[in-house]
Amino acid sequence: MELNILEQTKTKLKFEIKGENHTLCNVLRKELTKNSDIAGYKVEHPLTSSPVFIVESKDPKKSLTSTISSLKKIVDELRKESKRL
């Protein structure tokens, strides 16, 4: 996965996630909006383009990094639980 920042201001971050699809983007968008951030993404064409994400908040870069950390914890918990099965 590669992340390319397309636009960055104090309250807005626009980036492209190369090599990903709706699966990751939906999870990321949902988790970001839990913190009252405005987040969305668009995929022009699933075979030829990468998702472009926009996050708007007081500090979008901080929101994104804390959301990714939160998702990592959730995935780690899922791994632990799945090993118990």
Residue 30 pLDDT exceeds 90: yes
Residue 45 burial (C-beta neighbours within 10 Å; 0-12, 13-18, 19+)? exposed
Alpha-carbon distance of 56 to 82, in angstroms, equals 35
| Alpha helices for the chain (secondary structure H) | 22-33, 60-84
pLDDT band at 74 (very low <50, low <70, confident <90, very high): very high
Query: The domain at 2-84 falls in which architecture?
Result: 2-Layer Sandwich (3.30)
Residue spans per domain, the chain? 2-84
Q: Name the residue type at position 62.
A: K
More confident residue, 74 or 36: 74
pTM confidence score: 0.84
Q: What is the pLDDT of residue 16?
A: 96
Q: Would you say 29 and 40 are in contact if contact means Cβ atoms under 8 Å apart?
A: yes
Q: What is the pLDDT of residue 85?
A: 82
Residue 29 pLDDT exceeds 90: yes
Residue 62 pLDDT exceeds 90: yes
